[in-house]
Structure 1
């Protein structure tokens, strides 16, 4: 199962990810985030890292800014985590693969939520609804996805932590699990914001994939 580690800020930790079996590194280009990428990394350092797929996370940024960072950092994918419209997503998707993030609250109509984005995004991400745009470190009820017809590969995010490996593998066996493209981890694998506990990351990836 693919794993994305989001909120990377240290060059030495970024260099380690590929060797741990992680598929994606996430960089948060949102200045209000405690994991803002430029607190510890430069565009040059990100650009030079070639051993992992690089995902830029943006929140209501201008199209020009997003495309500039895609070029500067040689990003493979863009994750849009704000209130971006379908038209906005389409313009970005003409240039780079787009993951549109949706923040899920109780009793959400998933199919209605994603409907207008089906033709303009490559993938979706489902995260937990919070007060702001950042991650909450809290899980939403994954069962809300079970009966939804999503029709796109998706990332599962929101409070995923050490010990969730069996539950994630069980979710992957459900019909909806066929669309599970990757698992997104962040705050539950940190020493402090942006500083990852690499031993926890390694153990999680190993356990998650031990049945494959």
Structure 2
């Protein structure tokens, strides 16, 4: 189970959190977000994949951000269609991962995922709220018992340390856990000690590797 830390904003904090060696770090290119990123990303260790988060952006602007920031993945958090995802995939090829987000509430029709399976690498399930992400609350994960696809997915939405036992009890193809607001001091500024504790609880088997890196 991989870890994605999203909503990074401040260069010094990006380097500080990068020392924890998350699998993914997310940068939000949506101007209405409090975590909107418009700076420069400091150099990170190559194992960390940089994810650009977009909301109903044009293919051209997404590709521009991919090239400028050397992104390894894009996260589509709006109402992007299957045709849009296909067009993007055709232009960026298999070198860039495409993560399509679906906002979940009490009722969700998983049939809507089927047309996206061939044009996305992963799905991401987040809590449906007033904002396209960053609402800081979880949804009822029992609804995921109706998930029939073999496509691995990211689980997001208000996840903190207290949610780990429930996550470990989910018998589902969870590829990665996506965390954000539960580990912030202010929007975009992450608390390293809390994230380290989260890692230790979620993935204790990788702590030795991270400790060795941090001691270099």
* TM more than 0.5: yes
Q: Give 1:51-130 correspondences, 5 Å limit.
A: 51=46, 52-94=48-90, 95=92, 96-110=96-110, 112-130=111-129
Question: d(CA) in 2 for partners of 1:28 and 1:21?
Answer: 19
Question: d(CA) in 2 for partners of 1:50 and 1:22?
Answer: 10
Residues 126, 133 of structure 2: 8 Å contact kept: no
Could you report, residue by residue, the CA deviation over 1:59-86 in whole angstroms, capped at 9, with x for unpaired residues? 0011000000001000000000000011
Residues 161, 185 of structure 1: 8 Å contact kept: yes
User: Partner of 1:49 in structure 2?
Assistant: 44
Question: d(CA) in 1 for partners of 2:153 and 2:57?
Answer: 22
Could you report, residue by residue, the CA deviation over 1:7-48 in whole angstroms, capped at 9, with x for unpaired residues? 00011222233431411100000000000012xx32xx35x3
Could you report, residue by residue, the CA deviation over 1:160-196 in whole angstroms, capped at 9, with x for unpaired residues? 012222221222xx1x2xx211000000100010011
**Number of equivalenced pairs:** 201
Instruction: Give the TM-score taking structure 2 as reference length.
Output: 0.88
Q: Secondary structure at the match of 2:131?
A: coil
Gaps of 5+ in 2: 207-216
Question: d(CA) in 1 for partners of 2:183 and 2:149?
Answer: 28
User: Partner of 1:187 in structure 2?
Assistant: 181
User: Partner of 1:149 in structure 2?
Assistant: 148
Could you report, residue by residue, the CA deviation over 1:118-138 in whole angstroms, capped at 9, with x for unpaired residues? 111111000000123132111
Gaps of 5+ in 1: none
1:211 CA drift (Å): 6.5
Q: Secondary structure at the match of 2:162?
A: coil
Instruction: Give the TM-score taking structure 1 as reference length.
Output: 0.90
Q: Secondary structure at the match of 1:20?
A: coil
Which runs of 4 or more aligned residues in structure 1 lie more than 4 Å from their structure 2 counterparts after TM superposition? none
Alignment RMSD (CA, Å): 1.5
